[in-house]
Structure formats: structure tokens, C-alpha cells
């Protein structure tokens, strides 16, 4: 298919922004008022009334503006035309555990994949009032101001972030070995509990790199666009092109990418 024009991408970016802001307002309305918190299959894998209400808001915006596009939403699954080249990846509440504990590190993530490639991404944290936006060739912004990745060039001087899959208690493929290994090679590793915001933090230079396994496409699609448009790099662990369905991601400011990839692949006792 033909690559959309900058004007078309801007149109889609504006739709994603409307959806994220509307959903963010829903999350604020439910803040501290949750009546139902459920587990979806693994301990700690939560879903709340806020997740569902936020997703309903996003779907309404998307179906009103682009009814012929397909949607992959965390709570509702695949919706719309399965053969569409346009696929919206939606996480209505990234960081549900944080949200349930009223820890204000949670966000709405809305991305558009065109021909299976993330090309538009919006991540919105309504509790810290931070709106991250990016479109392929349009650059990346935080609250409408241009952002860039950090310039850290040495792993020993870096600050990283990671996360852990909900099944980490049940599988040896759990990221623990990589965490310990990289704690010893860097100035520190953080764990925020919200993948979309981790990627946004790499994009704006707060953090130098991020990796995670057991991750879903809706968790990372928007953040991928942010990092790449801010000058960073996103791949699989070994530096090959990322496959969204593979569940693993490595993102960095670019300068650290080779050394971070090498460290992950050589972590003692880790599963490749």
C-alpha cells in the first residue's frame, strides 16, 4: 500500500489524541472510586471498571472517525475488518496495578499500525498531565514541545527501566537474570509498571534504555513511534527488527543499543 501523506498521518494523530484525552478524563473520574477489581488469569493481572470505561470511550472515538479501520484493544480483542491495512492498538489503562493503588504512574496508549508498522502513537498520563505524541516523519512531543532521546553513550553511565510479565512466578523466562546483570553494569534500573510510559521516558531522555519480555502489542505500539521519532532505536533483543507479537522489546537512545543488546544476550542464566 502507498505510504500515507504527512497530512493524513497528522489527521490520524489528532484522532489518537482525541481518544487518549477523552479516555484520560474517564480514568480521572474513576480515580479512587473503584468498585470492582478483578484478576484476568495471572496474579496481579488486573482489570477494573476504569479499564473498561476508558476502552469504551476510545472505541467510540475511533469508530466515529475511522469506522473502516480495525482495532486491537486489550479488553475487547480484535474488532472491525480483519483485512484492513489500518490497525489501532489500544491500551485503555497501562499500569492498572498502579492505578488500583492510586499510584499516579498510569496512562492511556493509542497507536495506529499501517501495514503492520506503528506509525502514529499517543501516550497520555492524566495524573501527571503529560501528553506524548508522535507520527512517522512528524517528530515526537511532550505537551506539544519537541522531545529527543538522551545522549548517554556508556552503559556504565546509563539509567534503564524494565518490567516483568504477569506469569513471572510460573516461568523461568522471567527477566530476573537480566535485571541483576544490568544492575551491575549501569547506574541503575527502574521498574515503573507501565510500559507505554517507560518508552515515553526513553523518548524524552529521562531514561536511556528499556527492555521487557512478556509484553503485548497494545503495551508498546505507541511508545515505539515515540522513541523512533525522538531519535532512538527499537528492536528485538538481538538487534533484529522487532516483531510486535513476539513479546520482547529493546529500546534505547541509539548510542547504547549495541552494548545493551550484548548485555542482554550475555546475561548469566537467562533464556535467549
Span 114-137, pLDDT tens digits: 999 999 999 999 999 999 999 999
Predicted confidence at residue 255, as pLDDT, reads: 98
Domain end, chosen from 91, 120, 146, is at 146
Domain end, chosen from 104, 123, 146, is at 146
Predicted confidence at residue 173, as pLDDT, reads: 67
Above 60 in pLDDT, residue 5? yes
* Cβ–Cβ < 8 Å for 208, 159: yes
Query: Residue 21: inside a domain, yes or no?
Result: yes
Q: For residue 57, give Cα distances in angstroms to 48, 60, 137.
A: 15, 5, 28
Domain end, chosen from 146, 168, 184, is at 146
Above 80 in pLDDT, residue 254? yes
Listed residue (106, 104, 102) closest to 91, CA to CA: 106
Residues pairing with 209 in the sheet: 160, 252
Query: Residue 53: inside a domain, yes or no?
Result: yes
The percentage of the chain sitting over the pLDDT mark of 90, rounded to a whole number, equals 78
Above 80 in pLDDT, residue 169? no
Predicted confidence at residue 83, as pLDDT, reads: 81
Mean pLDDT of 40-53: 67
95 vs 112: CA distance, rounded Å: 20
pLDDT tens for 227-252 read 999 999 999 999 999 999 999 999 99
108 vs 123: CA distance, rounded Å: 6
Predicted confidence at residue 43, as pLDDT, reads: 47
73 vs 218: CA distance, rounded Å: 7
Predicted confidence at residue 170, as pLDDT, reads: 58
Above 50 in pLDDT, residue 110? yes
Statement to judge: residues 138 and 46 lie in one domain: yes
Q: Cα 26 to chain center, whole Å?
A: 20
122 vs 135: CA distance, rounded Å: 9
Q: For residue 195, give Cα distances in angstroms to 2, 7, 11, 128, 145.
A: 31, 29, 25, 16, 22
Reported confidence tier of residue 270, pLDDT bands at 50, 70, 90 = low
What Rg do the C-alpha atoms of the chain give, in angstroms? Answer: 18
Mean pLDDT of 176-197: 95
Statement to judge: residues 177 and 252 lie in one domain: yes
- Of residues 100 and 231, more confidence is placed in 231
Mean pLDDT of 206-226: 96
Residues written for the chain: 272
* Cβ–Cβ < 8 Å for 134, 226: yes
The mean of the pLDDT values for the chain is 91
183 vs 167: CA distance, rounded Å: 22
Reported confidence tier of residue 175, pLDDT bands at 50, 70, 90 = confident
Query: Residue 161: inside a domain, yes or no?
Result: yes
CA-angle at 126, arms to 248 and 28, nearest 5°: 115
Q: Convert 77-94 to b/e letters by CB count within 10 Å (16 or more is b).
A: eebbeeeeebbbbbbbbb
pLDDT tens for 60-99 read 999 999 999 999 998 888 998 778 999 999 999 999 999 9
Q: What is the 3-state secondary structure (H, E, C) of 209-221?
A: EEEEECCCHHHHH
Statement to judge: residues 127 and 232 lie in one domain: no
CATH label of the domain that carries residue 39? 3.30.540.10
Residue range of the domain that includes 70: 6-146
CATH label of the domain that carries residue 225? 3.40.190.80
Q: For residue 172, give Cα distances in angstroms to 129, 189, 213, 216.
A: 37, 20, 12, 19
pLDDT tens for 141-157 read 999 999 999 999 999 99
* Number of folded domains that form the chain: 2
Query: Residue 1: inside a domain, yes or no?
Result: no
What region does 11 belong to: left with phi over 0, alpha with psi -120 to 50, or beta? Answer: alpha
Q: Which residues contact 7 (CB under 8 A, 6 or more apart)?
A: none
pLDDT tens for 9-41 read 999 999 999 999 999 999 999 898 876 665 555
Amino acid at each position: 500500500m502507498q505510504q500515507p501523506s504527512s497530512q493524513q498521518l497528522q489527521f490520524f494523530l489528532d484522532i489518537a489524541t482525541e481518544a487518549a484525552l477523552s479516555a484520560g478524563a474517564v480514568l480521572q473520574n474513576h480515580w479512587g472510586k473503584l468498585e470492582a477489581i478483578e484478576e484476568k488469569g495471572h496474579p496481579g493481572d488486573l482489570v477494573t471498571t476504569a479499564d473498561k470505561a476508558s476502552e469504551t470511550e476510545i472505541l467510540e472515538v475511533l469508530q466515529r472517525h475511522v469506522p473502516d479501520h480495525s482495532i486491537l484493544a486489550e479488553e475487547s480483542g480484535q474488532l472491525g475488518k480483519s483485512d484492513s491495512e489500518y490497525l489501532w492498538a489500544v491500551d485503555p489503562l497501562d499500569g492498572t496495578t498502579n492505578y488500583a493503588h492510586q499510584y499516579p504512574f498510569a496512562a492511556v496508549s493509542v497507536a495506529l499500525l499501517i501495514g503492520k508498522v506503528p506509525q502514529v502513537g499517543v501516550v497520555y498520563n492524566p495524573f501527571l498531565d503529560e501528553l506524548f505524541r508522535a507520527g512517522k516523519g512528524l517528530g515526537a512531543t511532550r505537551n506539544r514541545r519537541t522531545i529527543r532521546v538522551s545522549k548517554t553513550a556508556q552503559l556504565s553511565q546509563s539509567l534503564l527501566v524494565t518490567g516483568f510479565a504477569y506469569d513471572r512466578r510460573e516461568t523461568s523466562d522471567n527477566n530476573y537474570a537480566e535485571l541483576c546483570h544490568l544492575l551491575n553494569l549501569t547506574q541503575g534500573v527502574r521498574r515503573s509498571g507501565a510500559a507505554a510510559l517507560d518508552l515515553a521516558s526513553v523518548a524524552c531522555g529521562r531514561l536511556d534504555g528499556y527492555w521487557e519480555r512478556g509484553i503485548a502489542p497494545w503495551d508498546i505500539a505507541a511508545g515505539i513511534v515515540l522513541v523512533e521519532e525522538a531519535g532512538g532505536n527499537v528492536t528485538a533483543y538481538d538487534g533484529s527488527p522487532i516483531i510486535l507479537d513476539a513479546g520482547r522489546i529493546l529500546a534505547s537512545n541509539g548510542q547504547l543499543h549495541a552494548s545493551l543488546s550484548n548485555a542482554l544476550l550475555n546475561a548469566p542464566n537467562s533464556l535467549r
